[in-house]
Amino acid sequence: MLSIRARNMHALIRICLALLSGVLVYASYQPQGFSVAGVVGVAVLYAGFSPIKGQYVSLRLGAAIAASHCFVLYMLLLPWIGEFVGNFPYISLAVFLSLYGIILGVGAAALQRVPYPWLWFAFLYLAVEWLRSHFPFGGFAWVRLAWGQVGSPLANLASIGGPALVTFVTVVLATGSYTIAFRRHMTIIVVCFLIIAAGTAWTTVTMGSSKSIGEVSVAAIQGNVPRLGLEFNAQRRAVLANHVAETSKLKEREPVDLVIWPENSSDVNPFSDVEAKELISQAVAAASAPVLVGTITHDEVGPRNTMVVFDPETGPGEFHHKKFLQPFGEYMPMRKFFRLFSEKVDLAGNFQPGNGTGIVRMRAATSGTAVTVGIATCYEVAFDAAARDAVRADAQILTTPTNNATFNFSDMTYQQLAMSRMRAIEVDRAVVVAATSGVSAIVQPDGTVTQHTGIFEAKTLIETLPLRNSSTIAVRYGSTIEYTLVIIGWLAMIFALWRFNNTSAAPASATKPNRKSPSQSTSSTAKKKNR
């Protein structure tokens, strides 16, 4: 048995490994983009749970290890939230998200007592990520491990199982590599690595092999905002005027088929404001092409975050109401309760979610053919259903209109662009990212960015993009694959905890003194005398 001082030293080493792993995993996300750091970071985290000189971590220490890892990671990854609401809510969110680490840590500590813990840990990691991405209030999928792999070959696996499979394989590579270093379970690890290599190679080779059914020339408009920070909302007419002015420049360039404006490019409702409607009509006429406009509408349910098609011939057309709304931003759950902690809850909106398939049809200006455009407005891009539902509804191209102006020069826009790139790979569609203030970008179906803007500059991106009607494995079976892996993860944790409780109880009973009854003691003494 180790002394108390040695145990404390081992615990400190494990916590330090957890802190280091948080920094490494953070480095994998954009704009840093060191994808291999994500694999190394998870390997370092897993090392914190592994036995040292035969001594296993307790469930309590396991919880502390994972929570420490998560806290460092989210504190580094999410400062952009503080740009909007201040440091207190940002730190509170990081602390809250770290609570999911307690589940991961407890499960990881218990899994060390079962065979092949490195493999079961990958299932458990994904299960906890799934929980965090769905609960509560729709979850927070922004911090999925997969987003940090968008620049690596592993991202290509998204076409099979979406971001969930990318996360799972990343963890398998990390824990398997760590285990190989100690030469354990070599055969099964090598088999897993060969499967991963074959899957990655297959998706890489087949990527781009889908045949296009046509092409379309698209313009992404970034009109910019008049100044930084929350105050820009008070100048929404100026934001609209900026996008009108930038769009008007299209008449001096080559003809385009479609024009994409960002989310909130017209915060003035053109259906209730005559001046806003006239300005948009002016821009549409100058472009001589349909324009997808981000605006705010109202109906009997309440305010909506809406993308509306304005056609130069037929006027306003199809629309998409944002379905996945950002809690504590676009709406405030439990407003009265959270107001007890901060009056800033009243900065949150009261938007109502939409429904539908997430597509609109736009008439290509040069050919007159209808193009089905799938929309994932800003925060929606983090949710699997947004892109998959649109593609199932025959979306031939995707767009991510977004408004990042309130987040200044933070990493938020780069993290979001990484998600759009992963979605392009996942569903085999080109993606047009249009932002009010940056970064706007053109993303090819293989996830590469061919054009992008800077932050806070007025600019137009024009490119001819492929139209596709393919359906990837992820679109058809991605949810089934994810749920299967997640269920295995929860079952593995339950079994490990059950076994942990049983093995912990056995030694306790075995060490109890064998107390004989008085009659047994007397009988034994008599036998000795008779000998």
pLDDT tens for 120-160 read 999 999 999 999 999 999 999 999 999 999 999 999 999 99
pLDDT in tens, 484-509: 999 999 999 999 999 999 886 654 44
Which tokens in the block code for residue 350? Answer: 């009261």
CB atoms within 10 A of CB 268: 17
Higher pLDDT, residue 399 or 234: 399
Q: How many residues does the chain have?
A: 531
Residues 6+ apart with CB under 8 A from 164: 126, 129, 130, 146, 384, 478, 481, 482, 485, 486
Question: Cα 1 to the chain's mean position, in Å?
Answer: 43
Residues with catalytic annotation? 263, 322, 378
Per-residue confidence at 232, pLDDT binned at 50, 70, 90? very low
Please, what is the average pLDDT of the chain?
A: 92
Q: What are 301-307's contacts with CB under 8 Å, separation 24+?
A: 301/352, 302/350, 302/351, 302/352, 303/349, 303/350, 303/351, 303/352, 304/351, 304/352, 304/354, 305/263, 305/264, 305/330, 305/351, 305/377, 306/354, 307/263, 307/360, 307/375, 307/377, 307/401
d(CA 11, CA 17): 10
Higher pLDDT, residue 357 or 206: 357
Bridge partners of 441, per DSSP, are: 433, 452
Q: What are 410-416's contacts with CB under 8 Å, separation 24+?
A: 410/79, 410/80, 410/83, 411/29, 411/30, 411/31, 411/77, 411/79, 411/80, 412/80, 412/83, 413/438, 413/439, 413/455, 414/30, 414/31, 414/439, 415/29, 415/30, 415/77, 415/142, 415/147, 416/378, 416/381
Higher pLDDT, residue 364 or 514: 364
